[in-house]
Amino acid sequence: MRTARLLALAAGAAGLAAVLSACEGLFVRDPGERLWRKHCAECHGLDAAGNTPRYMGNAYADLTDSSWRIAAPDRGSLEAVVREGVFGQMPSFDRLSREELDLLLDHLAALRGERY
Ligand code: HEC
């Protein structure tokens, strides 16, 4: 009897943990970070260092250093890469609104430790 109750409790806790981790992104308050998690983190990582299973080893997926292949580290050029994508490597994000793009690039600047 006691074991059954303990098991039920453990199952409940595990279920709750799963639900909480699934909702983690929902509790992020910064809109730029939310957009980053939604659109970019899968490939560039939460911290933009590119250490994701998919792109580990591609130095250009690391957006925190100062080695760039296509983008120069200015807003206009970063924006162009995001809008156009990188052939065969990165999808284009041409549906983002002006505001969303600004929030995303602000967030990237913050991750890079830049002031904006
Ligand atoms: C499907 C994976 C994927 C997604 C999603 C993705 N990227 Fe990329 N991105 C890459 C890869 C891979 C590269 C490096 C391409 C190369 O080798 O030149 C890259 C390159 C870049 C570059 C240029 C880096 C350079 O060295 O010039 C920028 C800027 C960039 N991504 C920003 C973003 C932003 C912002 C988002 C979200 C809106 C995003 N990416 C979403 C895979 C992705």
Domains of the chain plus CATH, in order, are 29-111 (1.10.760.10)
Report whether 72 contacts 80 (CB < 8 A): no
User: Per residue in 10-60, pLDDT tens?
Assistant: 888 777 776 666 666 667 789 999 999 999 999 999 999 998 988 888 889
Distance of CA 80 to the CA centre of its chain: 18
pLDDT at 23 (0 to 100): 65
| pLDDT value at residue 116 | 58
Alpha-carbon gap, residue 71 to 12, rounded angstroms: 48
Ligand 1 shell residues, CB under 6 Å = 39-40, 42-44, 55, 58, 60-61, 63, 68-71, 78, 81-82, 86, 89-91, 93, 104, 108
In angstroms, the CA 41 to CA 24 distance is 14
Q: Tell me the C-alpha distance between 73 and 8, whole Å.
A: 54
Atom of ligand 1 nearest to the CA of 63: 24
pTM given for the model: 0.82
pLDDT of residue 84: 96
pLDDT at 62 over 80: yes
pLDDT of res. 69: 87
Strand partners, 90: 86
Q: Minimal CA–CA distance to 46: which of 66, 69, 30?
A: 30
Is pLDDT larger for residue 67 or for residue 115?
Answer: 67
Atom 8 of ligand 1 has which residue's CA nearest to it?
A: 90
